[in-house]
Each structure stands twice: as C-alpha cells, then as structure tokens.
C-alpha cells in the first residue's frame, strides 16, 4: 500500500494529465504500479491526452524528487493521505469519485470524528442564518459534533466561526491549495483553523484555485459528513450542487425553513417540499445524527 500511496502522491504533482486524465489512466491499467512502465505513447492513448501532455507527465513521473516534496510537507506541517491509506475517511472512500489524495493541515484526528455535520448555505447569507447557527452551535459542540464547511463567504464562514466560538471543532474543505486561500478575507480564519482545527484540500499547497474546483469540492464536504444542514439558499444556487452530492451519497439533507417571501429561503423551502427534513429545533438534528 505504501508504494501505491507514493504513486498517487507523485501523480498529484505531475504536469500534463490533470485530475480527469489521471483517473482515466488509473481506470485503464491492470494495476497502478504498471503506470511506471508505460511509454509516453501508451500514456497518451490510455489517458486520451495530447502527445505533449503525455510527455510532460512521463517526465515528471520519473524525475519528481519525492523526498524533497516529503521534506517540504514535513517542514510546513502538511500531512497527506491517499485513498489506499488506513486513515483515509471511510465515509468519503465510498462516495462517487473520491479524492485520490487528501492534503491536511491542522488536527488530522478530526477526520475520525464520530459525528460530522456539513453546514452550507448562501454566500450572501443573512442574519437569519447567523441567528439560527448561533442558537444551534453551542449544543452541537457540546455533543462533539464536528462542523464541516467550505470556508466560503456567508454561511460557511458563519459556521466555522461559530463552531470555534462555541469551543467545538470544525473542518474546512477548500478549492486550490493551502498557499492560495480564497476568499482572501478568510485568510486569517484559515490560518487559525490550520493551527487549531483542520483544513483539507485535494490539491497540492501551491495550486491556485480554479473556478470549477469550488462546486467539485462540495462532494468532499458532503462525503465527509453524516448529514448536511442548509441554512439559506436561493432557488438556483451552488448549494443545490452540495444537496445533489449528498443525495447521491445517501446523506440526509436538513433544511431550515424560511419566509415564502424571501429569496434566500426559496431554495430551502423547495428542498423541504421535495423531501428534505425540516429543522425546527436542535432535536431534529440530534435525531438524524443519533446523538
């Protein structure tokens, strides 16, 4: 397993294929270790990429200074886990398209929390979200429920900060790497979490976040968690991407109902109408998490 983990780590740092090409390549070889024996032409055919990309990948695969990278991660207190490693979260391992490698900074033991609740909502979340979360968070923290969110503006930021304020634990899942925190105004929060809680990414620390990575990382937020709580959401919003992932992964969706006249309650009210669990009190969350 150690050799397989090292291979996945190396592939995450190779140019050329990207995540999609890497996963396609892995799905088409008899065993992951066979990749080392492939020529650039074979890599091109199996990953359906260009000759230039396959050449770059082949070069990096055979020249990457693994020990130097390993030392860099050690110096910067960055841990990593591949999908083959024992500590890889069991819940996440069984979702569709699990991350091949997780990069971790902070208290990695939080990955093994017995109860994890994802909290998501609008980036323009109102005081209604804050009021609800402020009321729920002390009780959630008292029951050792770890809060998982995406470090985005609005509801995510509220969830992280209120979990910290309530002396609870929180995990942030980010797009891009640890050296490029987005949004910038959450850099201080991210640094605090990297010291006292946990930040997770499926990208090396020097990777800049790309637009497509933000909705894609939502599968990790829901995949890590036992249930997903949605505070506010517009009828058509990114929150529905997380809801879709949660449904596909067999997670319960919990929604805070709101005014029929408020656009940020349109999404949550619609999800309730379609079968999501309506949350009227903290007990509704506890019953779902069996605590």
Give me the architecture of the 105-289 domain, per CATH: 3-Layer(aba) Sandwich (3.40)
SS3 category, 160: helix
Q: Indicate the pTM of the whole model.
A: 0.94
Whether the CA torsion 264, 267, 272, 278 is positive or negative: it is: negative
Question: Along the 291 residues of the chain, how does pLDDT read in single tens digits?
Answer: 688 899 999 999 999 998 889 889 999 998 888 999 999 999 999 999 999 999 999 999 999 998 999 999 999 999 999 999 999 999 999 888 899 999 999 999 999 999 999 999 999 999 999 999 999 999 999 999 999 999 999 999 999 999 999 999 999 999 999 999 999 999 999 999 999 999 999 999 999 999 999 999 999 999 999 999 999 998 877 788 888 888 888 899 999 999 998 998 999 999 999 999 999 999 999 999 988
Structure token digits, residue 103: 């990069």
Name the helix (H) or strand (E) containing 289. Answer: helix 282-289
The count of residues in the chain is 291
The answer to whether residues 9 and 66 touch, using CB atoms and an 8 Å cutoff, is yes
Beta carbons within 10 angstroms of residue 76's beta carbon? 12
Structure token digits, residue 119: 């909290």
The answer to whether residues 146 and 170 touch, using CB atoms and an 8 Å cutoff, is yes
């Amino acid at each position: 397993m150690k050799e397989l983990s090292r291979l996945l780590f190396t592939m995450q740092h190779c140019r050329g294929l990207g995540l999609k090409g890497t996963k396609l390549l892995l799905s088409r070889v008899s065993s992951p270790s066979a990749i080392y024996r492939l020529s650039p032409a074979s890599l091109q055919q199996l990953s359906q990429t260009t000759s230039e990309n396959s050449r770059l990948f082949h070069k990096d695969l055979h020249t990457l200074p693994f020990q130097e990278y390993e030392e860099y991660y050690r110096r910067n207190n960055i841990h990593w886990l591949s999908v083959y490693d024992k500590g890889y979260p069991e819940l996440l391992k069984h979702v569709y398209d699990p991350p091949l490698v997780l990069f971790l900074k902070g208290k990695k033991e939080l990955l093994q929390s017995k109860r994890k609740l994802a909290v998501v909502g609008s980036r323009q979340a109102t005081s209604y979200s804050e009021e609800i979360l402020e009321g729920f968070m002390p009780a959630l923290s008292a029951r050792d429920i770890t809060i998982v969110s995406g470090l985005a503006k609005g509801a995510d930021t509220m969830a992280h900060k209120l979990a910290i304020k309530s002396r609870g634990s929180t995990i942030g899942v980010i797009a891009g790497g640890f050296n490029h925190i987005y949004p910038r105004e959450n850099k201080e929060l991210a640094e605090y979490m990297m010291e006292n809680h946990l930040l997770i990414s499926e990208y090396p620390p020097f990777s800049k976040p790309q637009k497509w990575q933000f909705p894609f990382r939502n599968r990790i937020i829901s995949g890590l968690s036992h249930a997903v709580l949605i505070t506010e959401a517009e009828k058509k919003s990114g929150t529905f991407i997380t809801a879709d992932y949660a449904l596909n992964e067999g997670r319960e969706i919990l929604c805070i109902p709101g005014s029929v006249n408020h656009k940020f309650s349109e999404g949550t009210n619609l999800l309730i109408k379609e079968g999501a669990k309506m949350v009227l009190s903290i007990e509704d969350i506890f019953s779902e998490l069996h605590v």
